[in-house]
Structure 1
Amino acid sequence: MEADFWHQRWAKGEIGFHERNINPLLVKYFHQLSLPKASRIFVPLCGKTHDISWLLQQGYQVVGAELSEVAINELFKQLGIPPRISDLPNAKLYQGPDIDIFVGDIFKINAEQLGQVDGVYDRAALVALPTPMRRLYSQHLQAITHRAKQLLITFDYEQNDMPGPPFSVVADEVQQLYAQHYTPALLYNQPLVGGLKGRIAANQQVWLLE
């Protein structure tokens, strides 16, 4: 997807992908990463997700990347944290206690800037990207996080029935994208109650990538 697509969605408030509550699959399965408190968790394409609040409340540090500055201003407002804002050559950096968010193109963020990553929580990044971008994204993510283990949430539905995002990412594709350096384990695979966007039958899946 082009950057303008996401900027327009945030500008118009067309953010149906934003969940109003903490994702229950995060709460149920995050422990599978076996990370001690104070570990640093990367949340790619994070938006203003309430999942960040949950991670902070559990005692983790959070680093995120997001294209929309609108989203990140709203995120820090939700958290009640006045951000410190720095200009980088390829992004802006919003910071607060235990939280660093890069605002810009994730593909321009490098490992040195990102810093230590102990685990990745990908709920809305891989599924937000069309097929040609998913391989580039997965390779870049592995490179900048030094292949940190991941908790990945995906959807499996008939792509011809509805255009993404979110896009359908089937099990075979997860294997193709990650099996060279990870052992993907399917932790959860159940029908999404009410369907995707209330219209399309879909399974929601949770993967552990170690």
Structure 2
Amino acid sequence: MDPDFWHARWSQNQIGFHEPQENPLLLAHLPALALPPQARVFLPLCGKTKDIGWLLSQGIQVAGAELSPLAVDQLFADLGVLPAITQQGDLRCYQADGLTVFVGDIFALTPDVLGPVDAVYDRAALVALPDAMRQRYAAHLTLLTQSAPQLLICFAYDQSRFSGPPFSVSGQEVASLYGARYDIRALADQPATGGLQARAAAEQVWHLTPKP
């Protein structure tokens, strides 16, 4: 996916993927991660999701990565927080209490720059990427987070009838992308709501735990 595509979506406010409230599947299934006290959770391609404010309210530290600086400016404005902004290589780093967001190409983010995380919450990253990029993304995310456990939300529908994003990512593809490094367990499979209803899409939640 060309970065210009996403920059244009944000600048034109074409952000139908942005949810106006916390994702109910996160609220329902976060306990599956069994997070330790003061856990740090990584949200790839986070946008300005309301999930960040909710996670912070639960005492969870959040790290995010996002391509669009406009999205991150809006995120901190929505939180009512003024971030400290520094440059770390090719990435711009926005920081406030409990929250760090790296702005730029997620593939430029390294484990040393990100720092340790206890888990990954991927609601809109994998499904935002076309097929040709998903293998690279999954490998990078696994390396980046040292195979941290994941709560992964995907959509499954007939991709031949509709274009993405969000793209269809089946359970079979999740297993192909992550099965070598993770044990994968389905937590939920329900009809998608909103604009994806017309695609008869299923919204699926996966719990990925690193193999010994």
TM-score, normalized by length of structure 2? 0.97
Residue 56 of structure 2 is matched in structure 1 by 56
AA partner of residue 55 (structure 1): L
Q: Distance in 2 between matches of 1:119 and 1:171?
A: 20
Alignment of 1:18-167 (within 5 A): 18-167=18-167
Shift of 1:199: 2.0
Residue 200 of structure 1 is matched in structure 2 by 199
Deviating beyond 3 angstroms after TM superposition, the runs of 4 or more aligned structure 1 residues are none
SS, match of residue 160 in structure 2 = helix
Residues 59-112 of structure 1 deviation map (CA, whole Å, 9 limit, x = unaligned): 000000000000000000011110000012111000000000000000010000
Shift of 1:193: 3.5
> Cα gap change, 1:10/1:195 in structure 2, threshold over 3 Å: closer, same or farther?
closer
AA partner of residue 201 (structure 2): A
**Contact 1:156–1:169 (CA under 8 A) maintained in structure 2:** yes
**Contact 1:189–1:205 (CA under 8 A) maintained in structure 2:** yes
Residues 128-147 of structure 1 deviation map (CA, whole Å, 9 limit, x = unaligned): 00001000000000001000
**Contact 1:149–1:209 (CA under 8 A) maintained in structure 2:** yes
**Contact 1:195–1:202 (CA under 8 A) maintained in structure 2:** no
**Contact 1:37–1:58 (CA under 8 A) maintained in structure 2:** no
Q: Is 1:176 aligned with 2:176?
A: yes
May I ask how many residue pairs the two structures share in their alignment? Answer: 209
Q: Distance in 2 between matches of 1:40 and 1:194?
A: 30
Q: Distance in 1 between matches of 2:45 and 2:98?
A: 18
Shift of 1:206: 0.2
Residues 157-208 of structure 1 deviation map (CA, whole Å, 9 limit, x = unaligned): 0001110000000111000001101001001011124560x42111000000
Q: Distance in 2 between matches of 1:128 and 1:180?
A: 22
> Cα gap change, 1:136/1:99 in structure 2, threshold over 3 Å: closer, same or farther?
same
SS, match of residue 26 in structure 1 = helix
SS, match of residue 187 in structure 1 = strand
Q: Distance in 1 between matches of 2:40 and 2:194?
A: 34
TM-score, normalized by length of structure 1? 0.98
Q: Is 1:191 aligned with 2:191?
A: yes
Q: Distance in 2 between matches of 1:104 and 1:124?
A: 16
Unaligned runs of 5+ in 1: none
Unaligned runs of 5+ in 2: none
Q: Distance in 2 between matches of 1:41 and 1:29?
A: 14
